[in-house]
Amino acid sequence: MKNDPRKHFSALDIIHKILREHIRHGDICIDATAGRGRDTLFLAELVGENGKVTAFDIQEEAVYSTRTLLREHGMESRDSPYFVTVE
For the segment 23-76, what is each residue's pLDDT rounded down to a tens digit?
A: 999 999 999 888 899 999 999 999 988 888 888 888 888 888 988 998 899 886
Contact 52, 29 (CB under 8 A): yes
Rounded to two decimals, what is the model's pTM? Answer: 0.79
Alpha-carbon span 68 to 3, nearest angstrom: 39
Q: How far apart are CA 17 and CA 9, in angstroms?
A: 10
CB atoms within 10 A of CB 46: 18
35 contact partners, CB below 8 Å, separation of at least 6:
57, 62, 65, 66
